[in-house]
Amino acid sequence: MSDLLLNHLGGAWHAGRGAGTALFDPVLGNELVRVDATGLDLAGGFAFARDQGGAALRALTYRQRGELLGAIVKVLQANRDAYYEIATANSGTVKNDSAVDIDGAIYTTGVYAKLGATLGERRFLVDGEAASLAKDGVFQSQHLQVPTRGLSLFINAFNFPAWGLWEKAAPALLSGVPVVVKPATATAWLTQRMVKDVFDAGVLPAGALSVVCGSSAGLLDALQPLDVLSFTGSADTAQLIRSHAAVAQHSVRVNIEADSVNSALLLEGEAPGSAAFELLVKEVVREMTVKSGQKCTAIRRVFVPEALYGAAAEAISARLAKTTVGNPRNETVRMGALVSRTQLNAVREGLKGLQQQAEVLHDGARHALVDADPAVACCVGPTLLGSRTPDSAARLHDTEVFGPVATLLPYRDAAHALALVRRGGGSLVASVYGSDAGALATAALDLADHHGRVHVVSPDVAAAHSGHGNVMPQSLHGGPGRAGGGEELGGARALNFYHRRAAVQAAPAVLAALTA
């Protein structure tokens, strides 16, 4: 039996009391480690985080907390090679895809480390200007944001075990709020290793960072009213979380990132082979294949003018045909595995469902696996579907197949295109491609109410844009409607989730002393 990963809770390491759940190499099929959280004292561990970790963090200024994040960055950089090895073995990702997760985590933490320096020696945030409540301004109201005295619980998805931790933990720790992370079981190894490295380095005060691997049973029961909860995963699980007593009765603040059928839109006026056309094609292929399409921000629907449907199908398919799939340890491989057999089966079933309303334009099954046994490896080639009747193909707008799958859809005019994009019911991101600045600006504004982020790509930013699916810490991550209605990152905006806003009503001299 493989090693059992320890949980860190209450300032100490604990083994679960059960046999544990095995984590596997999705390419080779061998067992790697086991995780188990059976028998943990969650209530006691959470209390320790609030009382010890929270108090120690709140005693520091934003600048000092930023320095802690800077020290964490150094720890993560020192152990970067080990993280890549774990990602290859446990997530089945090629090096470039592992970098999206690991280097993205390090970069994001660094951004918040620098933000701490700009916030300076305060321990709370001043929110706006004071407002007069009496004649001559002798009595005023000043809004403040103070760190919540609870903890932040993160229930994370399997696809980003590194970035998923630190894009939430960095703003939480900078805010002065302790963190408990529950990584997805299938890829918990990398998250646990990062927490262990930070703990071993002695960077954070006791109770500031905890990790629970294995089952999430009991985690929500241990929450208290001033805690906050951030969840990334399926809409079905999100619904269960919203109905839990901690949220429904005790008003635990919750942030949800759920399903998202993201879009790429090529505006009218472009010809096959134009710069904007080629940028769309390149980005669609990249988003389909990076991390084998296992990204909440990946492009799922591709909209082009009706006259360009055939040309777009041919161009995207030609690029996809060059994608080598298989063992990420082989340098010729450009796309690795899905994370597990369960995920492989889910993608196959999802494809069957979409194919009831779409034709196959590029068949992923035609990709021979490199250095991988098809009977063992959780690998699948990229598949492009298409439908010339997007209005009646409801399933294509409602279903997110979490793998290397996208659907090409034609539109008649600009109004039709916008209506089709909105059929997604709210998404994390839409990207728009074109060469007319005015038309691009209009489309971006028209799509903003349905998306957390609108990524506009024109030829003048071809070499500079950050990518449709890349979540940058300076920009908002989240989305309305079916995407969960949550907000993460966005620079300093991320700190709002971990603070409580209050109005202090007092004489100007009191407010001046408070905010000095």
Res 288: pLDDT: 98
Query: Which residue is listed with tokens 């035609």?
Result: 366
Res 1: pLDDT: 56
Question: Alpha-carbon dihedral of residues 444, 450, 451, 454, nearest 10 degrees?
Answer: -10
Residue 333 Cα to chain centre, angstroms = 25
Q: What is the pLDDT of residues 435-465, one digit of tens each?
A: 999 999 999 999 999 999 999 999 999 999 9
Q: What is the mean pLDDT of residues 159-179?
A: 98
Amino acid at 426: G
State how far the Cα of 427 lies from the Cα of 516, in Å rounded to an integer: 42
- Residue 130 has phi, psi (to 5 degrees) of -70, 145
Q: Where residue 163 falls among pLDDT bands split at 50, 70, 90? A: very high
- Look at residue 334 and tell me whether its pLDDT is greater than 80: yes
Q: What is the pLDDT of residues 65-99, one digit of tens each?
A: 999 999 999 999 999 999 999 999 999 999 999 99
DSSP structural state of residue 2? P
How many CA atoms are closer than 13 Å to the CA of 418, on its beta-carbon side?
A: 14
- Look at residue 500 and tell me whether its pLDDT is greater than 70: yes
Q: What is the mean pLDDT of residues 26-35?
A: 96
Which two three-digit tokens encode residue 37?
């959280």
Strand arrangement, sheet containing 499-506: 125-132, 140-147, 499-506
Res 2: pLDDT: 73
Q: Catalytic site residues? A: 257, 296
| Average pLDDT over the chain, rounded to an integer | 96
- Look at residue 205 and tell me whether its pLDDT is greater than 90: yes
Which two three-digit tokens encode residue 300?
């799922």
Q: What is the mean pLDDT of residues 149-160?
A: 96
State how far the Cα of 422 lies from the Cα of 261, in Å rounded to an integer: 10
Which two three-digit tokens encode residue 106?
């390090």
- Look at residue 149 and tell me whether its pLDDT is greater than 60: yes
State how far the Cα of 147 lies from the Cα of 136, in Å rounded to an integer: 32
State how far the Cα of 106 lies from the Cα of 169, in Å rounded to an integer: 12
Q: Strand locations in 358-446, DSSP E? A: 359-362, 369-370, 383-386, 405-411, 427-433
Neighbour count for residue 456 (Cβ, 10 Å): 17
Return the closest-CA partner of residue 213 out of 347, 75, 483, 32: 32
- Look at residue 515 and tell me whether its pLDDT is greater than 90: no
- Look at residue 215 and tell me whether its pLDDT is greater than 90: no
- Look at residue 478 and tell me whether its pLDDT is greater than 60: yes
User: Do the Cβ atoms of 318 and 275 come closer than 8 Å?
Assistant: no
Which two three-digit tokens encode residue 307?
């006259």
Q: What is the pLDDT of residues 399-413, one digit of tens each?
A: 999 999 999 999 999
Q: Where residue 19 falls among pLDDT bands split at 50, 70, 90? A: confident
Q: How far is CA 504 from CA 58, 139, 146, in A?
A: 20, 10, 12
Residue 476 Cα to chain centre, angstroms = 11
State how far the Cα of 275 lies from the Cα of 481, in Å rounded to an integer: 33
83-87's contacts with Cβ under 8 Å and 24+ in sequence apart are 83/162, 83/190, 83/193, 83/194, 86/189, 86/190, 86/193, 87/161, 87/162, 87/190
User: Do the Cβ atoms of 212 and 40 come closer than 8 Å?
Assistant: yes
Work out the percent of the chain whose per-residue pLDDT is above 70: 100
Report all structural domains of the chain as residue ranges with CATH numbers, in order of start.
42-258+489-515 (3.40.605.10), 262-472 (3.40.309.10)
